Chains A and B, each alone.
Chain A
């Protein structure tokens, strides 16, 4: 059996930027350096949960909004059964892979859509653990 459910933390699978709920969340961000998209809040009874939207903003300094543009881009009707073409703006629509190094030297990779979101992740800094590490 390959699975290690001790660790059943694998089930949540979220990398852990552990913040205590609820008042210490902001304080924890200062300690951890923030970790957008990969934040978990620890409850007083020993539980781990995802942050609320407000906590997420406090911990990461971002609201998690999708930067993908919904403004109407230029659509071009093609002939010959080719339908409609639309050129994408790569700075807005591309998926960016971002890596951050934590104080323990471990690398954690995350994704962002659009250059601005990726840049925010880079500037936010320190990661937590990936789900495998959290399970050990």
Chain B
């Protein structure tokens, strides 16, 4: 329950001040006396957090996260976050850190950019120009007040400093708060990704930008069946908003690309790759070479599973070897190709999907990648006219700044769509191939910077796409 009106008003006024920016975000302290954000327990000062009581430290860290968002967002309507620290589900080895989300959604209001579309309350208010639902809060955010205590991941409390210097074993509260608040601001769909069913019969604004590359449709234009398939389509789910995609290369590093360069008729990027743990890491110069396949050898257990015979050595020496998956480890195949003089290896999968290739052998020094079965078949077709030593098909294996890590062949940022639907993670996060790590990947990874916009992150740009 919300506290008394007096408390609410005081909290709103007092807590809004530090968060003033392009937008005003008020925190409603929803905790009772002596607990949560009001906990008077004296604690050591931590990081750049100046306070020495637990409640005040929590509040300061939350205000810091809110302030980051307030400085970026643009709205004439105050965004109200109802916040609390409560006992949430815990064990000795796992805990709910917190939860957040929009309290209400709206559709078909004046100022909405899409008709028949759900918007989270804070965004709806911004677009409408005033509070559509005066007196209602916009976002509820709860955090686990027992974290780090006995029976609740003991020894791993929230780190309440705001200096991004998180001690090992502690949980960065600011990162968690920034992430959860983003969801509350609209970084999520309300559509059921598992079944494809729209929420109460209408798409979320998110769905107008979620794009299936296999269908060429946004989620807002798909059937339930198409949406459910798209949610587990791996690299075939991308964000189709210009605010994000136009600047992705400013945030994300160059990504791996098996770039077909000649003949011109097949020139293309291929960024859907499995990456090898062994061999030379890809770099921005890359390895350019003619592609030649390794032919089947008599009595072989699998393509390139034995030392290559003279015919194959003649074919792949100085070339990029194309090898079919199967029969032995990837490491053996690449080592045999290297011994035959190949300068790189492309493994064509023999089944659907892609694998990253593991193995350890310091003597393997050439780069290798895996391509999909379909890409392999297309490449083999292009190689049909080859001689014993020449194919006329050239490619470069490289880290390519034109295809940043976490984008597709067309530079669109990929969204998380693993082949098994993961509630809460799938569809409503950036894909994990993004690098450096982004705030809104399904897991909060190391290396985050408390920055939600360029040059470190794409989260704010995505929110701009949906209307912020």
In angstroms, Cα B446 to Cα A133, docked, is: 9
What is the interface residue range for chain B against chain A?
35 or more
Judge whether B194 and A66 touch: CB under 8 Å.
yes
Query: Which listed residue (A2, A33, A83, A93) contacts B110, Cβ 8 A?
Result: A83
In contact, A101 and B153 (Cβ under 8 angstroms): yes
CB contact between B192 and one of A2, A66, A101 (< 8 Å): that residue: A66
Cβ contact within 8 Å between B445 and A130 = yes
From B89, B90, B190, B432, contact of A131 by CB (8 A) = B432
Supposing A15-B443, A48-B356 touch, asked if A107 and B169 sit within 8 A by C-beta, the answer is yes
- Contact in complex: B100, A95 (CB < 8 Å): yes
Contact B437 A97, beta carbon cutoff 8 Å? no
Contact partner of A45 (CB less than 8 A), chosen from B94, B329, B418, is B329
Which of A69-104 touch B at CB < 8 Å?
Answer: 70, 72-73, 75, 78, 81-88, 90, 93-101
A30 interface residue (CB < 8 Å to B): no
Considering only CB atoms, which chain B residue lies closest to A130 in the complex? B445
Report yes or no: A95 in contact with B200, Cβ–Cβ below 8 A: no
User: Does B93 interact with chain A (Cβ within 8 Å)?
Assistant: yes
Is the CB of B106 closer than 8 A to any CB of chain A?
A: yes
Which residue of B is nearest A87, CB measured? B104
Closest beta carbon of chain A to B417's beta carbon, Å: 11
- Shortest distance from the beta carbon of A107 to any chain B beta carbon, whole Å: 6
| A12 and B434 alpha carbons, distance in the complex (Å) | 9
CA of A93 to CA of B118, assembled, Å: 13
Q: How far is the CB of B375 from chain A (nearest CB, A)?
A: 15
Q: How far is the CA of A78 from the CA of B254 in the complex (A)?
A: 49
Asked if A95 meets B424 with Cβ closer than 8 Å, knowing A88-B102, A109-B443, the reply is yes
A111 within 8 A of B: yes
Q: Considering the complex, which residues of chain B in the window 331-378 have a beta carbon less than 8 Å from any beta carbon of chain A?
A: 331, 353-359, 370
On whether A98 and B281 interact (CB within 8 A), knowing A12-B356, A43-B355, the answer reads no
- Residues on A with C-beta less than 8 A from B100 are 94-95
A52 → chain B closest CB, angstroms? 7
Given A49-B353, A99-B153, A117-B423, is A8 in contact with B281 using a C-beta cutoff of 8 Å? yes
Contacting residues, chain B, for A81 (C-beta < 8 A): 109-110, 128
**B117–chain A nearest beta-carbon distance, Å:** 10
A132 touches B195 (CB 8 A): no
Chain B residues, Cβ within 8 Å of A82: 106, 109-110, 128, 132-133
A125 neighbours in B (Cβ, 8 Å): 91, 93-94
Q: Is A24 an interface residue when CB atoms closer than 8 A count as contact?
A: no
**Across the two chains, which residue of chain B brings its CB closest to A92?**
B101
Task: Flag if B104 contacts A122 (CB, 8 Å).
Answer: no
Question: Which B residues are in CB contact (< 8 Å) with A13?
Answer: 431-435, 441
- Residue ID in chain B nearest A64 by CB atoms: B421
Q: What residues of B have a CB within 8 angstroms of the CB of A70 in the complex?
A: 192, 195, 197, 199
Say if the beta carbon of B13 comes within 8 Å of chain A: no
Chain A residue at minimal CB-CB distance from B115: A83
Q: Which 8 A-B pairs have the closest CB atoms?
A: A8-B275, A13-B432, A47-B355, A83-B109, A81-B110, A94-B101, A66-B194, A112-B424
**Given pairs A11-B433, A73-B200, 5 additional interface contacts (CB within 8 A):** A5-B399, A6-B281, A82-B106, A82-B133, A119-B89
Can you pick out 8 interface pairs between chain A and chain B where the beta carbons lie within 8 Å of each other? A88-B104, A93-B102, A96-B99, A107-B169, A109-B444, A118-B89, A118-B96, A122-B89
Residues of B at under 8 Å CB distance from A? Answer: 89-91, 93-110, 112, 118, 124, 128, 132-133, 140, 153, 156, 169, 171, 176, 179-180, 183, 188, 190, 192-195, 197, 199-201, 234, 253-254, 256, 273-277, 281-284, 325-331, 353-359, 370, 399, 405, 418-425, 428-429, 431-437, 441-447
